[in-house]
Chains A and B, each alone.
Chain A
């Protein structure tokens, strides 16, 4: 893992900041300036939010830095996997087919 010295130019922070702004404006634009249906808009801005949250974890939260960088990353992947399995899995199983009625 690369270590950021305090002296060197914080390039990743700047990139992160700019990308965050772009994603936010994109979301606002889609929500306010397009005629897409409510459902589609929700899906798009929801996805953009997830992308932005993920990116910020790397750019600002120093996910991969320090001696525990790898551990953090593994823990995050594990947590995301568990959430998908438990939450998304349960919703899917319990709302499809006969179970829904």
Chain B
């Protein structure tokens, strides 16, 4: 089928050869380890086939941490290459591949799954439900995301990485200028992962609308639930646009159509237009849940309910609405003319208003609160000033006329890292420290957590602050080197040093996970932070059915009031009833694998093989349609036993903070 087998594996680069060997050894090690410990069955029944939202969430989070490592490595390589002028560490092609995979992986395979993982773990618990609306679909979402992520990640050892930027603009990304298969990986892998994300969006909309426990009206939902809800709506609104754009890209690259190919009468800017019609909402899809996490953390550790709840809800809705009508600010320089550029300048600047409202709400929540400085709270505190820098530079960029100066410089790169890192990475760290005890029944070490925090935040600022000035001085983005005469060298060096501190922070984070798994105290209360929402009213780690009896909600911060009034906390034997739960299924992971195989063939343009694998996809759909498994019932005895085990220790250890 015209494949050049000698180009199948990437050869000739020592860095990549090293990774190939490392990947091979890791895989052998993992398989050998699991076999030796006889864990295959455990892995299969407890994790790979699970439909439990908490376990799916944890798998999302583990994948996201791994992807953070991969994307972070890419970032460090780039920083190393630009540390000195005219370095010869990476050549320009390699640099192109690395910033492309870095961008895609960080946004789609790190930020998204990290947040979706936390949503999975927390949302059903926060609304007092036993699972999401469609548990098996949820598992399918995860496996499709995972399949897409893996397909994208192997590109750098097999076949070659995409190299046209995370935006993959045409004409560069077309067959004419990128004849290799690298960009096929982009088109196909993102398509597979995108299907998973779209299904997550649908799942969470239905879950939040239909599965809230008794008494929880929309305006009594916790803020993280609200942001997840609105994010899910944005996913359903925006992802189909990307699906279509990627499909057209695939047709152009694989089957010779000319939707975006200028030489064939296509319209290259239509790609940019469709990409950002999805791409801008996408950045709010990752930012909004993060805002929700900060709202929970700030309220809990200020020991007050959230200030301005209603205005918070309306600003989320306002941000979501506006985020659909600002996409052109990414390509003002295309030259759509004054009317278009002015319109989009105004809508973009308008987003600052609801965002500002939220900022003040968080500040007023802290005002006169009895603030506890935990690791989670530290991330929230650092978020405020850092994100404001990102936001203010965003308003500078929003001005169409001024953007002609900033466009394509490192000023822009600094800006979006200043929104994405405080807005997403700080948030997932805050969320992880905060919900970790709920997930695993022990806490992350607070002292190591503070090292993690300070190294990471200082490193982040030292890395990206110089980039603003480099950009204003004219340093362009996506350039693999610069001359000594440009005078950029000192700031680039400073930035590179910052990235080492940043990486040290991440290393401490990994060490914290290791340390806490080994040594942390397992005998902790199920509510170690003295928190406010329902997820803390049940055991840690949460029993598989979540709640023995579904809680009843009378106000905002329901658990806080239950504790205050001492009602609804106990469980009488008479209240225990059998619980209906969904069964595990092998279909989702099968679909992930078969989608991955079909995708792989498609990337290599082996159409017949891809069609055969496509039959496997249909087989999976048919098998699922004839699946009459109704789930199972948890017997009263078992519930009794599980509930007694954790309720006895309740309240023993309460003071684990500071």
Q: Are B241 and A94 in contact (CB under 8 A)?
A: no
Q: Are A94 and B324 in contact (CB under 8 A)?
A: no
How far is the CB of B115 from the nearest CB of chain A, in Å? 23
Pick from B241, B273, B327, B340: contact of A96, CB under 8 Å = B340
Report A-chain residues with C-beta under 8 Å of the C-beta of B340. 92-93, 96-97
Chain A residues with CB under 8 Å of B335's CB are 97-99
Which among A78, A85, A94, A97 is the interface contact of B270 at CB below 8 angstroms? A94
> Within 8 Å of chain A (Cβ to Cβ): is B119?
no
- Cα-based distance from A86 to B341 in the complex (angstroms): 17
Judge whether A37 is part of the interface by a CB distance below 8 angstroms: no
Would you call the interface of chain A mostly helix, strand, loop, or mixed?
A: helix
- Known A-B contacts A86-B241, A86-B277; the reply to A96 vs B270 at CB < 8 A is no
Residue numbers in A under 8 Å from B1 (CB-CB): none
Contact present for A90 and B277 (CB under 8 Å): yes
Interface 1/0 per residue, B265-292 and A, CB below 8 Å: 0010110011001000000000000000
CB within 8 Å of A: which B237-270 residues: 237, 241, 267, 269-270
Give B511 Cβ to nearest chain A Cβ, in Å: 46
CB <8 Å contact, B277 and A98: no
Distance in Å: Cβ of B278 to nearest Cβ of chain A: 10
A91 and chain B: residue at smallest CB distance = B273
A14 CB–B CB distance under 8 Å: no
Residues from chain A with a CB closer than 8 A to the CB of B133 are: none
Q: Does residue B317 face the partner (Cβ distance < 8 Å to A)?
A: no
Within 8 A of B (CB), among A54-98: 78, 81-82, 85-86, 89-90, 92-94, 96-98
Number of interface residues of A (CB under 8 A): 14
The answer to whether A97 and B273 have CB atoms under 8 Å apart is no
Chain A residues near B327: list those with CB within 8 A. Answer: 89
Q: How far is the CB of A68 from chain B (nearest CB, A)?
A: 12
Q: Which single residue of chain B is at the shortest CB-CB distance from A92?
A: B340
Q: How far is the CA of A96 from the CA of B340 in the complex (A)?
A: 8
Residues of A within 8 A of B241 (CB): 86
B267 touches A94 (CB 8 A): yes
- Report the bound CA distance from A73 to B602 in whole Å: 41
Complex alpha-carbon distance, A91 and B148, angstroms: 32
Of the candidates A81, A82, A99, the one whose C-beta lies within 8 Å of that of B334 is A99
Known: A89-B277, A90-B274. 17 other contacts (CB 8 A): A78-B237, A81-B324, A82-B324, A85-B277, A89-B325, A90-B277, A93-B273, A93-B340, A94-B273, A96-B337, A96-B340, A97-B336, A97-B338, A97-B341, A98-B334, A99-B334, A99-B337
- Can you list 20 A-B pairs with a CB-CB distance of less than 8 A? A82-B237, A85-B277, A86-B241, A86-B277, A89-B325, A89-B327, A90-B273, A92-B340, A93-B328, A94-B267, A94-B269, A94-B273, A94-B336, A96-B336, A97-B338, A97-B341, A98-B334, A98-B335, A99-B335, A99-B336
Report the 6 A-B pairs with minimum CB-CB distance, sorted nearest first.
A97-B337, A98-B335, A97-B336, A96-B337, A99-B336, A97-B335
Interface, chain B (partner A; CB < 8 A): 237, 241, 267, 269-270, 273-274, 277, 324-325, 327-328, 334-341
